[in-house]
C-alpha cells in the first residue's frame, strides 16, 4: 500500500484511551493504519465498536473485535487490508479484559477513511 492510500483520510492521536470510549469517526469507517501502545505494566485490550462513542456502554455492549496488548507492548498495523467498522460510527476503548469496563490506558494513533 503506497502513500496514495492515505489521501482523504482523517487521523486521530490520543495518548489516554481508557474506559471512556473515543470516537474515531461518525458513520462507517475503514481503519487503514493504526498504532497501539499499551502504557501500563499489565495486559490491556483495545476494544473496537461500530457505534458512536456516546452510544457505547462498556461492559454491556459486545465489541466488534478486540486486540490484546502485553505489558508495555506496541503494535503497528500498517499497509494491510482496511479494517471496516460499519455501523453508526467507529469507537475504541482501552480495558483490562475484553468486554469489561475497567480502564487500561492505551495510546492510539489511527488513520481512517469514511465509507
pLDDT tens digits, one per residue of 61-113: 999 999 999 999 999 998 778 899 999 999 999 999 999 999 999 999 999 99
The predicted pLDDT at position 1 comes to 53
Residue ranges making up the domain that contains 45: 17-109
28 in Cβ contact with 114 (< 8 Å): yes
pLDDT above 80 for 4: no
Share of the chain above pLDDT 90, in %: 82
The predicted pLDDT at position 80 comes to 74
Distance CA 95, CA 63 (A): 12
Q: Which of 16, 45, 22 is nearest to 112 (CA)?
A: 22
Residue 40 in any domain: the answer is yes
β-pair partners for 77 = 34
pLDDT above 70 for 2: no
Number of domains in the chain: 1
Give me 16's grid cell: 489516554
The predicted pLDDT at position 81 comes to 84
Residue 115 in any domain: the answer is no
Residue 2 in any domain: the answer is no
As a three-state string, the secondary structure of 59-104 is CCCCCCEEEEECCCCEEEEEEEEEEEECCCEEEEEEECCCCCCCEC
Residue 7 in any domain: the answer is no
Share of the chain above pLDDT 70, in %: 95
Amino acid at each position: 500500500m503506497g502513500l496514495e492510500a492515505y489521501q482523504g483520510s482523517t487521523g486521530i492521536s490520543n495518548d489516554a484511551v481508557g474506559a471512556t470510549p473515543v470516537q474515531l469517526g461518525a458513520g462507517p469507517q475503514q481503519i487503514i493504519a493504526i498504532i497501539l501502545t499499551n502504557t501500563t505494566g499489565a495486559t490491556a485490550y483495545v476494544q473496537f465498536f461500530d457505534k458512536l462513542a456516546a452510544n457505547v456502554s462498556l461492559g454491556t455492549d459486545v465489541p466488534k473485535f478486540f486486540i490484546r496488548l502485553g505489558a508495555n507492548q506496541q503494535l503497528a498495523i500498517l499497509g494491510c487490508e482496511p479494517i471496516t467498522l460499519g455501523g453508526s460510527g467507529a469507537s475504541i476503548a482501552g480495558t483490562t479484559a475484553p468486554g469489561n469496563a475497567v480502564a487500561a490506558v492505551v495510546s492510539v494513533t489511527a488513520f481512517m477513511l469514511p465509507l
